[in-house]
Amino acid sequence: MTAQTSRYKLTYPTGSDLVSGAPSQFKSMADSVEKALGEVDDRQTANAVKPVVRTTLAQLAKAAGVTGQTGYVTADSVQSNNGAYVYTGSAWVKNVGTWQKFTFKFENEGSFQPIPSGGDNELLWNPILRLIVVRLASFRSIVGVSTYTVYLSHSGTFKPSKNIGLGQAEFENFTGRGIEVTLTTMGSITIGPELTSGDVVRHLGSYVVPVPSGVTITASGGTSI
**Is 47 among the domain residues?**
no
Q: Cβ atoms within 10 A of the Cβ of 100, count?
A: 20
The answer to whether residue 141 sits within a structural domain is yes
pLDDT attached to residue 35: 74
Residues 167 and 218 in one domain: yes
User: Is residue 153 helix, strand or coil?
Assistant: strand
Q: Is residue 193 part of a domain?
A: yes
Residue 114: predicted pLDDT: 94
Q: Are residues 220 and 130 in the same domain?
A: yes
Residues 24 and 88 in one domain: no
Look at residue 112 and tell me whether its pLDDT is greater than 90: yes
Pairing of strands 83-87, 70-73: antiparallel
The answer to the question of residue 88 being in a domain is: yes
Tens digits of residue pLDDT in 114-130: 988 767 899 999 988 88
Statement to judge: residues 59 and 74 lie in one domain: yes
Q: Where are the beta strands (DSSP E) in the chain?
A: 3-4, 11-12, 52-54, 70-73, 83-87, 92-94, 100-106, 112-114, 122-126, 131-135, 139-141, 145-155, 157-160, 164-171, 179-183, 189-195, 200-202, 207-210, 217-220, 223-224
Strands 112-114 and 131-135: unpaired
Same domain, 110 and 151: yes
What pLDDT shows up at residue 48? Answer: 46
Angstrom CA distances, 79 to 52, 59, 74, 131, stand at 19, 15, 9, 16
Say if 30 falls within a structural domain.
yes
Residues 193 and 133 in one domain: yes
More confident residue, 83 or 13: 83
Q: Do 182 and 78 have their domain in common?
A: no
- pLDDT 10s digits, 150-208: 999 999 999 999 999 999 999 987 777 889 999 999 999 999 999 999 999 998 788 99
With 70 as the cut, is the pLDDT of residue 21 above it? no
Q: Residue 107 and residue 89: Cα distance in Å, rounded?
A: 49
Q: For residue 166, give every residue at least 6 positions away whose Cβ sits within 8 Å of its Cβ, in sequence order, or none.
A: 132, 134, 181, 182, 183, 189, 209
One domain for residues 122 and 161: yes
- More confident call, 18 vs 84: 84
Of 107, 105, 127, nearest to 210 by C-alpha is 127
CATH code, domain carrying 200: 2.60.40
pLDDT tens readout for residues 36-56:
666 655 545 554 457 889 999
C-alpha span between 1 and 4 (Å, rounded): 9
Residue 135 domain-assigned (yes or no): yes
Cβ-based neighbour number of residue 141 at 10 Å? 21
Task: Write out pLDDT tens, residues 56-107.
Answer: 999 999 998 887 788 999 999 988 888 889 888 889 998 888 899 999 999 9
* Pair (130, 164) in one structural domain: yes
The closest of 51, 225, 213, 190 to 130, measured between CA atoms, is 213
**pTM of the complete model:** 0.64
Total number of domains constituting the chain: 3
Q: What span, in angstroms and rounded, lies between the C-alpha atoms of 108 and 183?
A: 18
Q: What is the span of the domain harbouring residue 79?
A: 52-94
- Evaluate whether residue 191 is within a structural domain: yes
